[in-house]
Amino acid sequence: MSQYPINPDLVAPGALSDNERLKADSDHLRGTITTDLQDEITGGFTGDNFMLIRFHGMYQQDDRDIRAERTAQKLEPLHNVMLRARMPGGIITPQQWLAIDKFAADNTMYGSIRLTTRQTFQFHGVLKPHVKPMHQFLHSIGIDSIATAGDVNRNVLCTSNPVESELHQQAYEWAAKISEHLLPKTRAYAEIWLDDEKIETTEVEPILGDNYLPRKFKTAVVIPPHNDIDVHANDLSFVAVAENGKLVGFNVLVGAGLAMTWGDTATYPRMADDLGYVSLEHTLKVAEHVVTVQRDYGNRSNRKNAKTKYTIDRIGIDAFRAEVEARTGVAFEPVKPYNFTSRGDRIGWVEGVDGKQHLTLFIENGRVLDFPNKPLKTGLAKIAAIHQGDLRMTANQNLIIAGVPAAQKAEIDAIARAHGLIDDSHSEQRKNSMACVSFPTCPLAMAEAERYLPELVTKTEDLLAKHNLADEHIVLRVTGCPNGCGRAMLAEVGLVGRGPGKYNLYLGGNREGTRIPRLLLDNVGEADILGTLDGLIGRWAAERSNSSEGFGDFVIRAGVIAPVVVPKDDFHS
């Protein structure tokens, strides 16, 4: 029960969903996971535990490429888990990288490290006997996976900006503080995975509540003008305000999110609203109470409408702001001016204000593995073995080798080139395209994404070259389902999977990530998609107002597609 007065007029009506029962009955996320781990009859987790392991950073999956074959052999699916690490701001040490590199090779079905849009890494294909040792191994190198999934605040993002080193360090420290402050307080993770002794006491979740949040919650810290973490994909974003190169406070944004459900027009992607400006000393208090307001007023009856964006659209941004102010005792100041002018990662070498060199590596789809003639995983391990700085995972699935002394630049550059980590043939189009994992491991996948993207990019490159735009790019993103992991709903061209080989085509986002695209074609195949893009790219080349007009801006200005203004009213219209 909330410790704050609840306005019954703002509470969503209806009976609680079964997920609310599940969380209430879980003994603060313990369930019977320990018993399940001892069950050798199945490779999966059963009953409520299938959902509860998400709060511990894991999803149960199976290899869908061989599901039918195993069924024919009267075998259960090849159950395994995907683990997502908690890495606020995406910073990892070279020593930690070498350790996870070895674990992936020795203990996962696929051998890869997957860099994600949540600025962390995932292990895919961990079989049940390796699950508990995996958590103990991660703990031994200072990493955990607490609250990287489930109805909690997840991994906190932070602009990957090693150039303005002092400002970035300050922003990163706040991302880490927010992450720690909003973590679940239950000792379930330590008891189950690390064999910590259970302490008989009454546990309290002062921020998340005993039923935790109505739905997942995403938080980010961003340093304008670079929107590399996609502000409008997060429930809560802190936009850094600096004076003379030092962080002084944040503009607070709430209510963004990209997921939707096919056939349900009450679901839609949404941009964030400004709450206002707060000085640094109020940051944690504001973060906490944005979460508690969502905890108390989010929809616990309909999970499809449980995210913060729907809470705000139901009760109104003014009521939401008033609740946060009442609980914090802090009045938001007017928003300080800010602007976003760019979004993607700056691939290649840049020099920071501190004189250190920083190398951003383009990792297609974030998949770190040794491919034919492109041994990325081996190359990164060689770099980590000699690197004196840190590594920074980006929210665009890339990796920064940060803090390289000038004297070591040539050596690291040579290793990167020898292993395909630097490839001068990569087009701007390829570097600005992204996909979610999708098949074969994601249980929600309806169409290919990661495995399809390289081919789709090549065909898009051909279209750009055909119209003399080979050096240009379109922000292109593909997701295998409408849940938004690849952030297609902030792309200039977004493909969202409907079924095998079929996608919805959305157009009209912009390069800065501050506009949601709109549906142009429903449930179509590649021929229709490429044919449509061919014609529109030809028009863009001939009719754009100037050389800096992006594709998304052009299709809006030319009337090809109408802009989405108020998503709850006009996204589906």
Catalytic residues: 84, 154, 216, 218, 436, 442, 481, 485
Cβ(289)–Cβ(297) below 8 Å:
no
- Looking at the chain, how many residues does it have? 573
Query: Which alpha helices (DSSP H) does 141-218 contain, by range?
Result: 165-181, 188-194
**What's 311-378 look like in SS3?**
HHHHHCHHHHHHHHHHHHCCCCECCCCCCCCECCCCCEEEECCCCCEEEEECCHHHEECEECCEEHHH
Cα angle vertex 482, ends 523, 319, to 5°? Answer: 130
Q: Hey, which bits of 3-63 come out as E strands? A: 58-62
Tokens representing 256 are 């963004």
Q: For residues 503 and 553, give the distance between their C-alpha atoms in angstroms, rounded to a whole number.
A: 22
Cβ(117)–Cβ(184) below 8 Å:
no
Distances in Å between the Cα of 342 and the Cα atoms of 19, 159, 434, 475, 511 are 39, 12, 16, 11, 7
Q: For residues 273 and 254, give the distance between their C-alpha atoms in angstroms, rounded to a whole number.
A: 5
Tokens representing 558 are 């030319």
Concatenated DSSP letters for 78-126?
-EEEEEE-B-GGGEE-HHHHHHHHHHHHHH-SS--EEE-TTSSEEEEEE
Q: For residues 444 and 439, give the distance between their C-alpha atoms in angstroms, rounded to a whole number.
A: 9
481 annotated ligand-binding residue: yes
Distances in Å between the Cα of 216 and the Cα atoms of 47, 234, 391, 476 are 20, 10, 27, 25
436 annotated ligand-binding residue: yes
CA torsion sign, 101 to 105 to 108 to 110? positive
Q: For residues 505 and 489, give the distance between their C-alpha atoms in angstroms, rounded to a whole number.
A: 10
Tokens representing 573 are 């219209």
Tokens representing 311 are 């809470």
> In the beta sheet, which residues pair with residue 351?
357
Distances in Å between the Cα of 413 and the Cα atoms of 344, 376, 403, 510 are 21, 13, 14, 33
Cβ(105)–Cβ(395) below 8 Å:
no
442 annotated ligand-binding residue: yes
Q: Which secondary structure element, helix H or strand E, spans residue 299, and what is its range?
A: none
One-letter amino acid at 568 equals K
Q: For residues 516 and 246, give the distance between their C-alpha atoms in angstroms, rounded to a whole number.
A: 32
Q: For residues 243 and 351, give the distance between their C-alpha atoms in angstroms, rounded to a whole number.
A: 22
The SS3 call for residue 480 is coil
Annotated binding site: which residue ranges? 436, 442, 481, 485
Annotated binding site for siroheme: which residue ranges? 485
Annotated binding site for [4Fe-4S] cluster: which residue ranges? 436, 442, 481, 485
